Structure 1
């Protein structure tokens, strides 16, 4: 993707509802939106004092915190005296939240970045990308070691025994990232990881599965993330189970068919799924 197209897309994305503006897979648009939101969170999060947020909520019933739903709720719950463990448990089991049950349900069914299911899905996508590369290398009969096998710090996902030809270059290592490869992301991981790989092992390649800006030494993937969707009533108590089932089916490579409301549709789009209406 060229830089100007990326800038236009990023500037005009504020929610999954904006995905319809661009003829691109949702997993690409979702990645760009998610990274935009995460960068905003990093700038804003420290502004909020939990005790002050809790006091205003008690006095006025208002939660004036401009953060994604789950993070907004976490700030409030910290101010109310909940521990990290308690907060984590209540986000997974909203029925146990007492007076905060409605707030918890609202947060975990809206937040496609920081809800427990969204976090689980992000880890799953990371493992999926690595599995695709591993199968590809094994198909080529290439000798390699994975990061887990190397058991040392600052090693790539795949270290090759010998260099192989890749996009016109001889490369010794491959790194898999399930995120859009923009300048901020690439620069961050260059300082944190890629530079050390290059210094220790020579040239390598980074695979940004949800596409990347036009730069050398990076590739994009192509994934089938379709959900066949039919509108129907969906109780909130079943929402998390449906999303969990979608994630499991995606991991197994199975066809995904669901019935649900518009909130579920928006949540799945936010995760990066392309919606096919039935």
Structure 2
């Protein structure tokens, strides 16, 4: 069996680690938080065997890719810029794009900014939320869920990192990956991520070896890079004003679990029904 190859590509001022396998039409996979290229390991092997060249990077701030120190170097413009540069470095004009969680958010904007580089998109978990020019995203989240909502709690640089450090990293990974509670995650400041429930037994798709792989990478790199995506939510809103009401023109398939916390955000189901090609997976959460 062909093995997954690992290389480093210089793009947009950073060194980006990518995993790739196969030959043929290219598929680019974008992971979420707290994840790595490794989240796509099964898809890389499966789809490469069907005649595709599969590429999964560690996104900016994750794994073996560089993590700039400045918080404001993690905007959607930076991340999409990294990916355009990656395709250019690999000599790829167009890709099939697949995104999950934060990777889905980045994928939506990749299609808005550079539709010429995307053949089609399959996105999971995070629906496209049209920009509301009247309300900043964090203001909207606070009004719906309060200051203890996890995204609001992640905003202050260094604070969430201190909170995460109080919990064993492997346990933290298990809690994020295995929770099946669709309610908004609430992390009271005095409790933080310790409010996460104890992880149940691992699902069939996640082994102790897998958890240890993630934990080792996050113990080495830290969580700041991934958390900085959350810290740019309002800045992304400001920077994307010129694309207000721009429609996504590439072919899209959207998949979401009915236990996914994002599925229950007010307004998401209305947007979801407007996607012609969509699939709801029963009894599934963020990790389908």
Asked if Structure 1 and Structure 2 have the same fold, meaning a TM-score greater than 0.5 normalized by the shorter chain, the answer is no
Which structure has more helix as a fraction of its residues? 1
Higher Cα Rg: structure 1 or 2?
1
> TM-score under structure 2 normalisation?
0.26
> TM-score under structure 1 normalisation?
0.27
